[in-house]
Structure 1
Amino acid sequence: MINFFSENNFELEDNAAYEKWLQQVIISEEKKEGDINYIFCDDEYLHEINVKYLNHDDYTDIISFDNAVGTILHGDIFISTERVAENAEKFQVTFQDELKRVIAHGLLHFCGYKDKTDDEAQLMREKEDEKIKMFHVEQ
């Protein structure tokens, strides 16, 4: 089950459309849907998580906690909507497009994709682009 929560009053425009899209992404990666929680928050909330659980004293747009069991995806994905808005402006894309990229990014981590090296980051970006295009498919 895919759930959407908010710690900062943010709401997706259409939860059902996002849920269907993410289910398609999971299937396209030959994985199964478990319990996946998206938690939208502000910079400070995510910064506290980054410091407390990852020992990183910096701001980020997303933190994912992967609890997958085999091919069944489980986990929590925290997204700073403030950071998404800043990055959208920085990269000259819409907030919605940047949000889709970050939402896909978290799920792709659960599917086993990493982004620490240049090669991994390039593959991750290609996968993000591929999955974002799936959102536009008639559902």
Structure 2
Amino acid sequence: MIDIEIEDAAWSEALADAEGLVRAAAEATLACEGADGEGVTLLLTDDESVRELNARFRQKDSPTNVLSFPAPHNPERHLGDVALAYGVCAREAREQGKSLEHHLQHLVAHGVLHLLGYDHMTDGEAEAMEGLERIVLAGLGVPDPYAAGEGDHDRPRPFE
């Protein structure tokens, strides 16, 4: 089950089908990993809410684009929660020359992959995770966010 909560109206104002975009990206990511029956909650919120979460759980007192909170193993098969900050995401999309729709779907895929146990702390982990992101996004019709010429950087690493 995929639960989507839109806490910041800016998401809906900027993207008429924000919920549909998020659902499609989450479903595609789960399907890519054979986790179709797993549950996730996705929160579309504001920078301040994400800043508070980042400070509380990561000791970083600043907003970030996406945060993932894996759940412990449970009978409900809930993988965890993902929070996305509107202001950070919108600014990154502009700066990188991407549509907000595509950037949002990329960040959702990224966050859900974290819930599935992927990380990017080493180059090898990052390459594996980016490869899965590319597969998911291609299936959604989203250009490769890591391709040379996309935005203003060769290999974006917008995730901390």
TM norm structure 1: 0.84
Deviations 1:41-98 (A, max 9, x none): 111110001111221223210111011538x452110001111111111211111111
User: Contact 2:93/2:99 (CA < 8 Å) preserved in 1?
Assistant: yes
Task: Using the TM superposition, give the Cα deviation of residue 16 of structure 1 relative to its aligned residue in structure 2, in angstroms.
Answer: 4.5
User: Contact 2:63/2:85 (CA < 8 Å) preserved in 1?
Assistant: no
- Give the % identical residues: 24
The within-5 A match list for 1:47-126 is 47-67=51-71, 69=73, 72-126=77-131
CA separation of 1:17/1:41 partners in 2, compared to 1, >3 Å: closer, same or farther? closer
More displaced 10-residue stretch of structure 1: 48-57 or 26-35 = 26-35
**Matched residue, 2:42:** 38
More displaced 10-residue stretch of structure 1: 81-90 or 24-33 = 24-33
> Gaps spanning 5+ residues in structure 1: where?
none
User: Contact 1:23/1:33 (CA < 8 Å) preserved in 2?
Assistant: no
Q: What is the one-letter code of the residue matched to 2:102?
A: D
User: Contact 2:4/2:23 (CA < 8 Å) preserved in 1?
Assistant: no
More displaced 10-residue stretch of structure 1: 94-103 or 59-68 = 59-68
CA separation of 1:18/1:53 partners in 2, compared to 1, >3 Å: closer, same or farther? closer
Q: What is the one-letter code of the residue matched to 1:134?
A: G
TM norm structure 2: 0.74
CA separation of 1:8/1:25 partners in 2, compared to 1, >3 Å: closer, same or farther? same
Q: How many residues end up aligned between the 2 structures?
A: 136
> For the residues of structure 2 that align with 1:101 and 1:17, how far apart are their CA atoms?
10
RMSD, aligned α-carbons: 2.2
Which has the larger share of strand?
1
For residue 33 of structure 1, give the secondary structure of its aligned residue in structure 2.
coil
> Gaps spanning 5+ residues in structure 2: where?
142-160
User: Contact 1:33/1:74 (CA < 8 Å) preserved in 2?
Assistant: no
Q: What is the one-letter code of the residue matched to 2:68?
A: S
**Matched residue, 2:135:** 130
